[in-house]
Chain A
Amino acid sequence: MLSFMIGGLEPSLAVPLVERTEERLRKGSLPVWVSDGMDAYGEALKNRHCVLKIYPRTGKRGRPRRDKLVACPELCYGQVVKERDERHRVIGVFKRCRYGDIPLHKISTVYLERHNLTLRHENRRLTRKTIAFSKKVEGLWNQLFLYQGYYNFVRPHRGLRRRILAGNHTLQKWQRRTPALAAKLTDHVWSLKEFMSKKVFINY
């Protein structure tokens, strides 16, 4: 879980969300971006990674074509779009490539959809049809900030577990791993106490 945004309408959140996500990435890294059919993400990405395309003079009569900003050739962005009928039921899913050249069979949003389910399951504020919803936005921000750190460092992710090779001293079959451990940011699964007692020295 890299970042999140809370706000009113989804298109207005695309720009800050992309900004906050890119802050966490290594400079110069160009991952494949995948989203649902919301074009605002594509626009936000294009505005951050764009080049000016200059149309050469053709020598013919008439006004020349205006130069325009186009997405970088390195930017890869694809969409996974759900098709719905008039009763809003999903009748099909298709994938399309917006920028760059992506093998379409490799992109998906299933991990994020599953993550949304985890979020809804473990945060009572996001649970559907409950009266424990947030009454103030600050509470929702606090809960999600807490959950983001907890998810990345403390909570072992079952999908990230790794088989321990045979011949080890313990009888444990699997190594439990957190997202931070899988990304090699730490070397162990943090306890909650360790996470909450970590001293952070800013500008150090």
Chain B
Amino acid sequence: MAKRGRRRTYKFRNIACPNPKCNLYGKTAKGNVVSNGTYPTKAGTTARRFLCKECGESFCERAGTIFYDLRSPEERVLMAIKLLVKGMPLRGVAEVLEVKLDTVRHWLKVAAEQSEKVDALLMKELKVSQIELDALWSFVKKNSLRQRAILWRAKFGSALPLPKNIA
């Protein structure tokens, strides 16, 4: 006789627990992840929360991606990244997407961290026949005023001297 009642199914077979202390950390299709409700995001969409039955930690579906803890819609963040890798300056992106410069800077930072992680994870054990090495010349601004202030502080103490007409 077949078992009665609803068959136990785990829908979220491709989702893994992101808790490094969990025994099933990073393992999928183990049946430990169940749904734990949804919540509205600031961007107006709905995000799902999950619960790991192994360690008891709950996490949301965006944990581990660059969209975690970002308030803006995903499309806008992706558009900013696309513009950045197609030759647009930070200030240009901020102006086009009508966000603050520091916001774009933060998006660039999280995207760079993600890119570095994924690239290091997958681009390895390569078999290549020829490697070319070369240098590319560019420059980074020297903040001469700040450097001058640091030198001044090292020389004369903590405070910068006030101009003569104020002192």
Contacts and interface: CB of A to CB of B under 8 A. Distances in A.
Interface of A: 2, 10, 13-14, 17-18, 21, 23-27, 29, 31-36, 38, 41, 106-109, 111-113, 116, 119-127, 130, 132-137, 139-143, 145-150, 152-153, 155, 180, 183, 185-186, 192-193, 195-204
Contacts of A41: 133
A36 B133 CA distance: 7
Contact of B127 (A29, A133, A143, A193): A29
Interface string B99-130: 00000010011011111111101111111111
B154 interface: no
A200 B126 contact: no
Given A111-B132, A142-B108, A186-B122, A193 B82 contact: no
Contacts of B105: 139
Contacts of A23: 124
Interface of B: 16, 18, 20, 25-27, 63-67, 74, 77-78, 81-82, 84-92, 105, 108-109, 111-119, 121-136, 138-141, 143
Contact of B123 (A122, A125, A185): A185
B101 to A, nearest CB: 11
Contacts of B111: 142, 146, 196
Given A26-B126, A146-B81, A152 B119 contact: yes
A132 B112 CA distance: 19
A149 B115 contact: yes
Given A25-B128, A197-B66, 19 more contacts: A17-B133, A21-B131, A25-B125, A25-B127, A27-B125, A29-B128, A32-B131, A33-B131, A35-B133, A122-B85, A127-B87, A149-B115, A150-B115, A153-B118, A153-B122, A180-B123, A196-B66, A198-B114, A202-B20
Contact of A133 (B67, B109, B141, B143): B141
A41 B65 CA distance: 37
A81 B129 CA distance: 21
A139 B128 CA distance: 30
B133 A34 contact: yes
A111 B105 CA distance: 31
B82 A201 contact: no
A14 B131 CA distance: 14
28 contacts: A10-B135, A26-B127, A31-B128, A31-B130, A31-B131, A32-B129, A32-B131, A41-B133, A109-B132, A116-B134, A122-B86, A133-B140, A134-B140, A136-B141, A143-B84, A145-B115, A146-B81, A146-B112, A147-B85, A148-B115, A149-B116, A185-B123, A193-B74, A196-B67, A197-B65, A199-B18, A200-B117, A201-B16
